[in-house]
Structure 1
């Protein structure tokens, strides 16, 4: 069966071969809440669809109008099988409960590397920040991630509120998605307000970056096999 969990997902789990992120636009904070409830009910009343799905998590955007979905698959083939057999009945039930959901699109990724939480760090993230960075050339993506991870390692005190950061490269070659766990929104805002160091200026001005888009979320629902 499917059951809920309060635990945040482990993004560095080596079993995850196909991490997928998608966004739904639902319009209002109340519709966010209703949609999360509908997703939970829909999944809990059905068997877990595949052993190759390790977890499915939903996040409420601080913008009050979006939901982010993160699913952990062992491989893309397992997701394609789910789509053929199980997905539509779930979509139909959710849409009946909350009509008018706009599904923006599905992003397919592979995790490139992480700045994992320190051993013994038991903090529960109070804020999830995703940053999408678009590149002119595919080979620039991993170089940029390496530069960010080095900058984080050189400035541990300045990023004391950062729990972990996980860098995913899109399978279409176009961009990087950083999923970062922060202790709180206040901790993240302090970092944003701090003077930029030389290392972070190199990250900010890295050649080949076409644009950045950031979003803030709260973990709203976790589903795992029961």
Structure 2
């Protein structure tokens, strides 16, 4: 296991993660890394900027006291540009590796995270949902992202989820479009009830422009989504400023 510094202060004096051998600190995760067997995604509504900062700092501080097993690949929190949302994205080598960590973790991580969320006014956290990466739209060149857009859908099962994702992958021939678009990574939940597109962009402004053009209501993309039975769009949120660890 790799142990983080107890109560580390992180980058620029922020509570959280210090430099760790074998890890990138406060970096965006590598979504298509081949050793990632399972993905956990969750979101918190912290109510406003103060609560958002409290969640980011409190959860980072909670994890800073936790030894990490070899099956841990990444855990990154992202700050919503709305000033209140926090996206939680984690990768493990397998379901079994994550479940074993949950079963054997004895440092009080769950209690520390719950206390951080409670202190920030986040109530009734259901925990993250387990996903698998199903497919991606990619560019020939992939610059580092400056913004992540979480696009969510509810689906009535695996059939509807795959029809949605496969149709979008086919529509674009597997290639990411849009000026400033880097990649779109489509995840399907373990129960088939959710699809999350973790979409990487150079900056939030680039995504704002594409929403007003290629992704407008009545356009080809939105018309296709509306045509797929059992799919309910849940909107999108933009995120920046990653906080966490990514195994190299």
TM-score > 0.5 by shorter chain: yes
CA distance in 1, matches of 2:199, 2:28: 12
How far apart are 1:199 and its partner, in Å?
4.0
Instruction: Please state which structure has a larger fraction of its residues in strand.
Output: 1
Q: How is 1:180-219 mapped onto 2 (pairs within 5 angstroms)?
A: 180-194=199-213, 199-213=220-234, 214-219=236-241
Which ranges in structure 2 are unaligned for 5 or more consecutive residues?
5-19
Q: In the alignment, which of 147, 152, 170 is matched to residue 150 of structure 1?
A: 170
CA contact (8 A) 1:18 1:76 kept: yes
Deviation string for 1:31-84 (max 9, x for gaps)?
211221222233233322x11110100011233222111110111122222222
Q: 1:107 to 1:161 in 2, by over 3 A?
A: same
Corresponding residue of 1:67: 86
Q: In the alignment, which of 86, 90, 114 is matched to residue 136 of structure 2?
A: 114
Which ranges in structure 1 are unaligned for 5 or more consecutive residues?
none
CA distance in 2, matches of 1:161, 1:35: 29
Corresponding residue of 1:39: 59
Instruction: Please give the secondary structure, in 2, of the residue aligned with 1:219.
Output: strand
Instruction: Please give the secondary structure, in 1, of the residue aligned with 2:105.
Output: helix
Q: 1:155 to 1:165 in 2, by over 3 A?
A: closer
Tell me the TM-score normalized by structure 1.
0.85
Corresponding residue of 1:18: 38
- Relative contact order (alpha carbons < 8 A, sep ≥ 6): 1 or 2 greater? 1
Aligned residues: 222
CA distance in 2, matches of 1:97, 1:63: 20
Instruction: Please give the secondary structure, in 1, of the residue aligned with 2:108.
Output: helix
Corresponding residue of 1:220: 242
Query: Which shifted more, 144-153 or 54-63?
Result: 144-153
The alignment status of 1:56 with 2:75, answered yes or no, reads yes
CA distance in 2, matches of 1:132, 1:87: 34
Q: 1:68 to 1:155 in 2, by over 3 A?
A: closer
Corresponding residue of 1:6: 26
Instruction: Please give the secondary structure, in 1, of the residue aligned with 2:172.
Output: helix
Corresponding residue of 2:146: 126
CA distance in 2, matches of 1:104, 1:117: 35
Q: 1:145 to 1:210 in 2, by over 3 A?
A: closer
How far apart are 1:185 and its partner, in Å?
1.4
Q: 1:154 to 1:222 in 2, by over 3 A?
A: closer
CA contact (8 A) 1:117 1:164 kept: yes
Tell me the TM-score normalized by structure 2.
0.78
